[in-house]
Chains A and B, each alone.
Chain A
Amino acid sequence: MATVRKGLAKRKRKEMILQGVGIGAIGFALTVLFILIASLVSTGYQAFTQTHVEIEVFVDPQEISEENLPRGGFRDVLSDSVGQYFPEVDMSDRGDARVLSSILSNGAQFKLRDMVVEDPSLIGQTISLKVPTSDPYDQLNKGLIDRDTPEEFRRLKDPELQNFDRLADLGLISKPLNTGLLSNADSRFPELAGLKGALVGSFWALLTCFLISFPLGIGAAIYLEEFAPKNKLSDFIEVNINNLAAVPSVVFGLLALAVFIGWFGLPRSAPFVGGLTLALMTMPTIIIATRAALKAVPPSIREAALGVGASKSQVVFQHVLPLAMPGILTGTIIGLAQALGETAPLLLIGMNAFITSAAGSPFDSATALPTQIFIWADSPERGFVSRTSAAILVLLAFLITMNAIAIFLRSKFERKW
């Protein structure tokens, strides 16, 4: 009895240690995750708002005439418009005028141009225009430029601060939600740069990836699991599919570069090629998930169907596959989520080009979310720092959504036999 008790204490201690290690590991993982998210949010949240300035613009017919559209002196019109709030400044002095109009984003003139092109009757009228400020003023407004820094180390000099404060005192500065983050394509100017191009590119790439890897993956899995004879060859294929799933993604990128772009002459930077490349990587995941799902269908169902005289393919397509579908879909979504975050192969096929419009088709040049993050992370402008974090948050949101759908599917279609 005593020995048992002694042994029991020892066993309990061992159990405690094991549990402790487990809890510790989970705690560590959660801490790391928390730090990651917290750091992303703390730098990224600024990018979800954008400082705007609202100015009265007189669309001067002397600068802008209907015949010349879309050309015209939009820049000068804007700079005069800013000037009206600073009567003491001599706008004929080019240097002073440039300092003043630098408050406006470079995109302001294009916005004005588009408005006038759309509605030429604006010429000669005074309109109210709300445009993003340029990046340094955005930084200033968000408190990222410290006014106490000595002037020579500051991006904005004292007069520029005063100019901004004047506009702020007039109530012309606001900081609304940055819808441009999702609705603009990439730009050299951080205040104009958005994720639309990347989102569209990722969408085309994932669509291509899905349309290719889903049918091929399921087909291959069904053949291997249900029809292929079990022999050395099928073992060999199985091992190689598992290997394929473990091949580093950069290798697929090199392969795609050589084959799709080199041999087949498909366009560089195209989401279609990106999708093909991602399909190579997603397919093994789908095959493995599908085979597992097919295997999980109980043999009694197959026997039942065979027993009433169903053929092999009837058994597979009328009974086994429908029951395996939730598992297959879960695996597919997880595979696509992996593909969404994949960066290296897309860099290799040139999906990190600087492209300022969203792709209209899968064959147009585009970036994808992860490569856009890569590009922004590489950009020197201060404004891209918070945008990089914001883009990562957007990517994470998509990944979490996809994984949540996968989990939902799994629990919704929980075994019902």
Chain B
Amino acid sequence: MYDAPTPGSKLDQTDIKITAKNVQVYYGDTQAIKDVDVDIEDKTVTAFIGPSGCGKSTFLRCLNRMNDTIDVCRVEGDIFIDGEDIYDRNIDPVQLRAKVGMVFQKPNPFPKSIYDNVAYGPRIHGMVRNKAELDEVVETALRGAALWDEVKDRLDTPGTGLSGGQQQRLCIARAVATKPEVLLMDEPCSALDPIATAQVEDLIESLKEQFSVVIVTHSMQQAARISQKTAFFHLGNLVEYDDTNTIFTNPTDSRTESYITGRIG
């Protein structure tokens, strides 16, 4: 276990966006996440790394309560965003998800036009008053996702007709369009070529000016390139959580070291 920064000190609290305490996740009887405590900072890119099946996605999905949609999934412990318990009975997961956006591992655009894909979130949340504003939101989001130039002439063609990488950037644009405070990204680049990956990484870099980004990745280089904090998961445990530099240069736990140097995975 790592030493969790003691929450409560006034100075930290402004910086910390998400606090997880003693989180356990079960799928039926099997436990997928064990005793995870973590503080995720605001305006920071946090990377989750770890071998396949270790629970990165599962934990990520706890942060916007996507696990609620899985019948067998049960979450215990507390997760706070801005000091609010997101599993509190008074919290509406719908509202939470407007605040905590998500980009999935597999690109999943709606079978609607590119424009409608991006406009969907702002529309349902009533974030715009007229078409002109919506147009602007859509353009900004698509520019942000480095997709604007490629699709500006065919905004009314179906989003499903784009290439895999374009679809993923469309999904990022869709998530960004609702102006979330936290953006969860589950291996957003696994379907992208190096150029698109670089574009998405630039995008993440600029997104962190506004919100905190949590990204699951299998690429050590990517984690090292873009994140300030890195969390290493192994078999459902959060083994180590620290500055990215420290994790990659001077890990405390031998498992982290083995994983980073490619000996477990």
- Where the two chains meet, the residues of A that have a C-beta atom closer than 8 Å to any C-beta of B are 230, 298, 300-311, 314, 319, 323, 416-417
Does B50 sit within 8 A of A, measured CB to CB? no
Does B171 sit within 8 A of A, measured CB to CB? yes
Tell me whether B160 and A307 are in contact (CB under 8 A): no
Of all chain B residues, the one with the shortest Cβ separation from A415 is B111
- Where the two chains meet, the residues of B that have a C-beta atom closer than 8 Å to any C-beta of A are 64, 66, 69, 71, 94-95, 97-98, 101-104, 106, 108-111, 120-121, 124-125, 158, 160, 171, 174-175, 177-178
**A304 to B101 alpha-carbon distance, docked (Å):** 10
CB distance from B144 to the nearest CB of A (A): 15
Which of B71, B94, B178 counts the most chain A CB atoms within 10 A?
B94
* Residues of B close to A417: CB separation below 8 A: 111, 160
Tell me whether A307 and B124 are in contact (CB under 8 A): no
Residue contacts A-B, CB under 8 angstroms, 21 given: A230-B71, A300-B106, A304-B109, A304-B110, A305-B120, A306-B69, A307-B102, A307-B103, A308-B98, A308-B120, A308-B124, A308-B175, A308-B178, A309-B97, A309-B98, A309-B121, A309-B178, A310-B94, A310-B124, A314-B124, A416-B111
CB distance from A230 to the nearest CB of B (A): 6
CB distance from B127 to the nearest CB of A (A): 10
* Residues of A close to B66: CB separation below 8 A: 303, 306-307
Which of A300, A307, A319 counts the most chain B CB atoms within 10 A?
A307
**A314 to B110 alpha-carbon distance, docked (Å):** 13
* Residues of A close to B175: CB separation below 8 A: 307-308
* Interface contacts beyond A307-B103, A314-B124: sample of 6 additional A-B pairs, CB < 8 Å, sorted by A: A230-B71, A301-B110, A303-B69, A306-B97, A308-B174, A319-B110
Of all chain A residues, the one with the shortest Cβ separation from B177 is A308
Of all chain A residues, the one with the shortest Cβ separation from B65 is A306
Tell me whether B69 and A308 are in contact (CB under 8 A): no
* Residues of A close to B97: CB separation below 8 A: 306-309
**A314 to B106 alpha-carbon distance, docked (Å):** 22
* Residues of A close to B101: CB separation below 8 A: 307-308
Which of B103, B124, B125 counts the most chain A CB atoms within 10 A?
B124
**A303 to B64 alpha-carbon distance, docked (Å):** 12
Q: Which 5 A-B pairs have the closest CB atoms?
A: A309-B98, A300-B108, A308-B121, A307-B102, A309-B97
**A319 to B108 alpha-carbon distance, docked (Å):** 12
**A416 to B158 alpha-carbon distance, docked (Å):** 10
Tell me whether B110 and A305 are in contact (CB under 8 A): yes
**A250 to B111 alpha-carbon distance, docked (Å):** 44
Which of B71, B104, B110 counts the most chain A CB atoms within 10 A?
B110
**A304 to B102 alpha-carbon distance, docked (Å):** 8
CB distance from A139 to the nearest CB of B (A): 60
CB distance from B119 to the nearest CB of A (A): 11
Q: Which single member of B69, B106, B174 contacts A302 (CB below 8 Å)?
A: B69
Of all chain B residues, the one with the shortest Cβ separation from A307 is B102
CB distance from B222 to the nearest CB of A (A): 22
**A417 to B111 alpha-carbon distance, docked (Å):** 6
* Residues of A close to B124: CB separation below 8 A: 308-310, 314
**A257 to B54 alpha-carbon distance, docked (Å):** 62
* Residues of B close to A310: CB separation below 8 A: 94, 120, 124
Tell me whether A303 and B104 are in contact (CB under 8 A): yes
Tell me whether B108 and A303 are in contact (CB under 8 A): yes
